[in-house]
């Protein structure tokens, strides 16, 4: 297979990536910033997410209405998101609209107006978003649990911030953080589809090439998070269900064990054939929602089991989940289970190759996390060489720990759990 990926790095540190996909008439294009909620101080918690919203309120060349109208005219697929370690802005357009789409994205990222009245209105919008999370039990439990699992660390803070911090973001604070962090050295511009590398590189160089890096920037939180082992029990009487998280340490996004860990997560709770789904939902009917998987960051990971069940069945669901973790530590997974997990993973890789949006996202993430492109063939080879022994080794490393943790939210009727029940 001919590699269609090309890379250019400008003198100011900005990285340009393209992947030509013959036969398409579309281009997926985006600008990614190597900054997210992890790179914020406690006082500025939520400002990356706030800026993501504020960029759409107008630039020095376009009003908010003009941005929305132009986005719709180009196809209406302009999207943005904020995560712990990255902020992204992307859109999918017909190939002939690439220059216009790039101009719109670049204007958003480079030239926000940050009008004070607009910022105050957006503060209200984000505070309403926080209230929506408060009314969504699984999301609320996830935020509460992250705060307890990563105490006194930015990974434990909510991506959207708090009402107190967001309410403090004025024009000076917002524009200052933007200037320090949305600078060329932190930007990755990527395109996939019917795109010529020379064309996109020319557009980027013309727009960003002379841009200087701000002398100072908010430095990433490089301190390795010291995870806690909380048992977090939160009462919420109005809920019909109890919501449960069980968590354990996990390999990071850069770890050599990440492929074996992915197979382990799939076997335990990654689909309808997984052990947890079969034991808890199919065989006993104890939950509608049950699953497991890993959350990975550049230097740390967290494995979680999530379930929603009635309060009366919570103890049984906890014990069954721990039993599956114990079993996978003590007994190697079967060859059949591992082969099925591999087939799922490889199918996911191959199917993603048909989507320019998936491919451009992968290009940007790989550059930001690994500093290089990881070809699909390399990913598939890494999946194929995972063994039953390596899966069990990861399970033994991650699950036989004193930092196994649990969180529960709901009308729990005095639910208590002794830490000895969490011992693997």
Cα-based distances in Å from 108 to 52, 164, 326: 10, 26, 50
- Written in H, E and C, the secondary structure of the chain is CCCCEEEEECCCCCEEEEEECCCCCEEEEEEEECCCHHHCCCCCCCHHHHHHHHHHHEECCCEHHHHHHHHHHHCCCCEEEECCCCEEEEEEEEHHHHHHHHHHHHHHHHCECCCHHHHHHHHHHHHHHHHHHHCCHHHHHHHHHHHHHCCCCHHHCCCCCCHHHHHCCCHHHHHHHHHHHCCHHHEEEEEEECCCHHHHHHHHHHHHCCCCCCCCCCCCCCCCCCCCCCEEEEECCCCCCEEEEEEEEECCCCCCCHHHHHHHHHHHHCCCCCHHHHHHHHCCCCCCEEEEEEEECCCCEEEEEEEEECHHHHHHHHHHHHHHHHHHHHCCCCHHHHHHHHHHHHHHHHHHCCCHHHHHHHHHHHHHHHCCCCCHHHHHHHHHCCCHHHHHHHHHHHHCCCCCEEEEEECCCCCCCCHHHHCC
Cα separation, 296 vs 38, whole angstroms? 13
Q: At what angle do helices 388-399 and 258-269 cross, to 10 degrees?
A: 80
Q: Which residue is associated with the tokens 């600008």?
A: 31
Catalytic residues: 52
Reading the block at residue 259, the tokens are: 């492929």
Cβ atoms 208, 106 nearer than 8 A = yes
Cα separation, 26 vs 54, whole angstroms? 28
């Amino acid at each position: 297979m001919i590699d269609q990926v090309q890379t250019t790095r400008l003198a100011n540190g900005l990285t340009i990536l393209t992947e030509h996909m013959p036969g398409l008439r579309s281009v997926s294009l985006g600008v990614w910033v190597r900054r997210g909620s992890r790179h914020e101080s406690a006082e500025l918690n939520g400002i990356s997410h706030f800026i993501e919203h504020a960029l759409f309120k107008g630039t020095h060349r376009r009003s908010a209405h003009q941005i929305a109208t132009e986005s719709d005219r180009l196809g209406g697929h302009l999207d943005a998101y904020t995560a712990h370690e990255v902020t992204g802005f992307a859109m999918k357009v017909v190939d002939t609209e690439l220059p216009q789409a790039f101009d719109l994205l670049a204007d958003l990222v480079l030239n926000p107006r940050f009008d004070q009245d607009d910022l105050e209105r957006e503060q209200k919008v984000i505070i309403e978003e926080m209230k929506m999370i408060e009314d969504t039990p699984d999301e609320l439990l996830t935020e509460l649990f992250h705060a307890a699992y990563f105490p006194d660390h930015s990974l434990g803070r909510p991506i959207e911030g708090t009402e107190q911090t967001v309410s403090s973001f004025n024009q000076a604070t917002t524009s200052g953080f933007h200037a320090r962090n949305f600078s060329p050295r932190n930007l990755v511009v990527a395109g996939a589809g019917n795109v010529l590398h020379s064309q996109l590189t020319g557009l980027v160089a013309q727009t960003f090439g002379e841009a200087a890096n701000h002398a100072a920037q908010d430095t990433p939180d490089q301190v390795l998070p010291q995870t806690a082992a909380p048992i977090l029990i939160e009462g919420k009487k109005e809920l019909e269900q109890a919501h449960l998280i069980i968590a354990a340490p996990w390999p990071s996004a850069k770890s050599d064990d990440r492929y074996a860990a992915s197979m382990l997560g799939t076997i335990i709770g990654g689909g309808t054939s997984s052990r947890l789904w079969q034991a808890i939902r199919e065989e006993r009917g104890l939950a509608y929602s049950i699953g497991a998987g890993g959350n990975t960051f550049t230097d740390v990971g967290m494995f979680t089991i999530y379930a929603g069940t009635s309060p009366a069945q919570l103890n049984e669901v906890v014990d069954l989940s721990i039993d599956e973790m114990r079993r996978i530590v003590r007994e190697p997974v079967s060859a059949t289970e591992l082969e099925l997990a591999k087939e799922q993973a490889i199918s996911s890789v191959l199917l993603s190759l048909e989507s320019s949006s998936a491919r451009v996202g992968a290009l940007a993430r790989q550059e930001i996390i690994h500093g290089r492109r990881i070809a699909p063939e390399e990913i598939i080879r890494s999946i194929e060489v995972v063994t039953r022994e390596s899966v069990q080794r990861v399970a033994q490393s991650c699950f036989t720990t004193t930092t196994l943790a649990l969180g529960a939210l709901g009308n729990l009727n005095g639910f208590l759990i002794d830490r000895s029940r969490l011992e693997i």
